[in-house]
Amino acid sequence: MTAQHEIRCSRNAGIRTVRHDYMVNRILTKIDHHRHPRPVDKAHGNLPVSDKLEKPDIEFQYKNATYVLDVTFAVEANICNAFKGKILKYGTYGDNRVIPLVLRYNGTVYEKSMNMLTTFLPEITDSFLSKHCCLAVALTKKPSCITPA
């Protein structure tokens, strides 16, 4: 099964959610507590005002400003568009306050994402992300679209 198929197939929605949530939880525990990291959700009262249900994943403080991090997996052919799309999606947070964390299925991080992380969240290293990204993909590898013969 290709990564592109995993992204588009409706039967894999649960797999995508588990993979995404695993990465968000691992990152949330790694962010320095002085940055006051918290998930973006109703329980924390920090959902952005939007017509859609789209929301970033993590909110944190950096130099007295609120920043958000949004995690996504992308195939190499769509990686640039995934990065740009995340920045455009959250205009309500202002310029340069959105960190799109775009991960490849092979466990590597998109270079522009890593550059932003190095500036705002230096505790989130490339090796940490690669390790947990590979674990997330491995934990959710299940050929749910393949029917036995």
pLDDT tens per residue across span 86-136: 888 876 666 678 899 999 888 889 999 999 999 999 999 999 999 998 888
pLDDT confidence of residue 16:
78
What does the buried/exposed string (b/e) look like for 11-50 if buried means 16 or more CB atoms within 10 Å of the residue's CB? Answer: ebeebeeebbebbbebbeeebeeebebbbbeeeeeeebee
Predicted local distance difference test score (pLDDT) of residue 49: 59
* Confidence band for 147, pLDDT divided at 50, 70 and 90: very low
pLDDT band for 51, please (50, 70, 90 cuts): very low
Tell me the pLDDT of the chain averaged across its residues.
81
Q: Rounded CA gap, 127 and 132, in Å?
A: 9
